[in-house]
Amino acid sequence: MEKLAIGLMSGTSVDGIDAALVRLNGFGVHTKVDLIDFITLPFASNVSEEILQCMNINESNSALICSLNFKLGYLFANAAKKVCEKASIPLSKIDFIASHGQTIYHFPQQEGRFVKSTLQIGEPAVIAYETGVTVISNFRSMDMAAGGEGAPLVPYADFLLYRSNLKGRALQNIGGIGNVTVLPKQGTLDDVVAFDTGPGNMVIDELCKMLKGVPFDQDGKWASQGIVHKEIAESWLEMNFFKTSPPKSTGRELFGSQFTKQLLQNWRHLRDDDLIATATYFTALSIADSYTQFIFPKTYIDEMIIGGGGGYNETLLRMIKELLPNITVLTQEDIGFSSEAKEAVAFAILGNETMNGMPSNVPKATGAGSAVILGSITIPPNDRNIIGGRI
């Protein structure tokens, strides 16, 4: 049965909300998925600052989190409305909205008195009330309850969309954080492996903000003008995270502003462009090192397909190709997909599984003890239900 759905995503880059309007036929691993339309609504600077403040353990407080949860709910609802307007499809035709929300903190493992936990905000009740559409949210918590790390969650969608009987593929996302889904040739869902590779654009973006006053390195321009200090990047790779075997996940807690400020303090003698170039190489090196340590010994890979904002950084792409010369490196656009829309589409797919009562985590990727149904369902009030009684 055909359904129309909206996937909403705001990632670790904290630059805005991605909204993907998709058509879904069926459920399970044979679902057919078509992207109808896509938009990104950038955050106003004050909203980005509030999110980053919530993420900072020294600056956050319960009042700020409480308020921001609802503020983001209204912004996510607006993104859903806007993508429908762009596609000229009324909200009344939408079967469900799948909202990842905004992660503000993530403990993949217990740290002292802090138990394994994760928190995404962007109040689903607000989204449901404002749109009149059923909302699936809080995707990561059930996987964590089952013993997993709650991340990465996109491997199910990656398997559905990109599996091949002819090629071994690695789906490398480069958002704020880098993560990879490994799809062996002729593999099944049980063969899928996925994990976070380390920083994606996060450190590069922070350096650009601090040194250049711009939010990111457009096309890798600054990095292309700098000198890479390989020995410095290699020293950053000595962190325990990079030596830990999958499953593993990370975020701003490890590679956020504090990490970048420390880099600036330790390497302030470097030219600005050199530091940005070295950080860009660090991202490429962390990806290549992850493949060398944890993928190539077990799985033959023919090609890497890069998605996320990093797919538009030409200098980063060149560095990855140079570090991994024996595999073909492509972008989502090279195979007819969208780098920007990939994760929003993935959460629409996960929401479809939830609405059909189907599990969609990949235990080998997250470390969960079992496959589980992800997400919580929020139904709009009857007097706001504009979707034809299909709830």
Mark the binding-site residues for ATP, compressed into ranges: 11-18
- What tokens does 340 get? 């920007």
Residue whose C-alpha is closest to residue 371's, from 6, 29, 8:
29
H or E element at residue 342: helix 342-355
Q: Cα separation of 107 and 116, whole Å?
A: 5
H or E element at residue 69: helix 62-87
Residue whose C-alpha is closest to residue 308's, from 337, 341, 346, 349:
341
- What tokens does 216 get? 């990111």
Q: Cα separation of 54 and 125, whole Å?
A: 21
Q: How far apart are the first and last CA of the chain?
A: 15
User: Counting beta carbons within 10 angstroms of the beta carbon of residue 45, is it exposed (0 to 12), middle (13 to 18) or buried (19 or more)?
Assistant: exposed
Cβ 282 vs Cβ 192: under 8 Å:
no
Residue whose C-alpha is closest to residue 250's, from 3, 47, 12, 7:
12
- Is the bond preceding residue 325 a cis peptide, omega within 30 degrees? no
Cβ 213 vs Cβ 205: under 8 Å:
no
The alpha carbon of 61 is separated from its chain's Cα centroid by a whole number of angstroms, namely 25
From the annotation, which residues make up the binding site? 11-18
Residue 252 has, within 13 A of its CA and on its CB side, a CA count of: 22
Q: How far, CA to CA in Å, does 106 sit from each of 117, 151, 334, 383?
A: 6, 10, 33, 36
- Provide the pairing of β-strand 193-199 with 303-307: unpaired
Cα angle, residue 170 at apex, residues 249 and 13 outer, rounded to 5°: 45
